[in-house]
Amino acid sequence: MSVEASVTITGNLLDAGISDLWAKSVSQKHARILQRIGAHHIINAETDAGKRVGHLVAGNYLDYIEIDGPYNVVKIHTPLYAVGRNIEDVQVHDKYGVTAVGIKAPARNSSTVPRN
């Protein structure tokens, strides 16, 4: 779909009173135009995928998902200092401002070797 068609359709849907409109952009410039005309949510799959891959390649992340603003969900290997310790004792929230939303137990009959 062309940028012009996307902007026209988005404008028409907003004029029709759509209260929660999601639009896909193909560039940052396109996203700014959609935002200016009133699209409520703008998705740029290529940019989002690029950010995700960048975080995965640059960091020690197994997976990375940007949620909203400063909020992200990151899957990591257990840091060496936390292996075998209770999550409360590690105090990740107090020390690092991180909230653990899940802990995956090792598979049965597998040996788990902590990573440095």
Look up the pTM and report it: 0.49
- Averaged over 3-13, what is the pLDDT? 95
Give the relative orientation of helices 3-15 and 28-37 as an angle to the nearest 10 degrees. Answer: 20
Determine the pLDDT at residue 111. Answer: 59
All residues at 6 or more sequence positions from 113 whose CB lies less than 8 Å from its CB, including other chains: none
User: What percentage of the chain exceeds 90 in pLDDT?
Assistant: 31
Q: How confident is the model at residue 96 (pLDDT cuts 50, 70, 90)?
A: confident
Alpha-carbon span 34 to 13, nearest angstrom: 12
Domains in the chain: boundaries: 3-43, 47-96
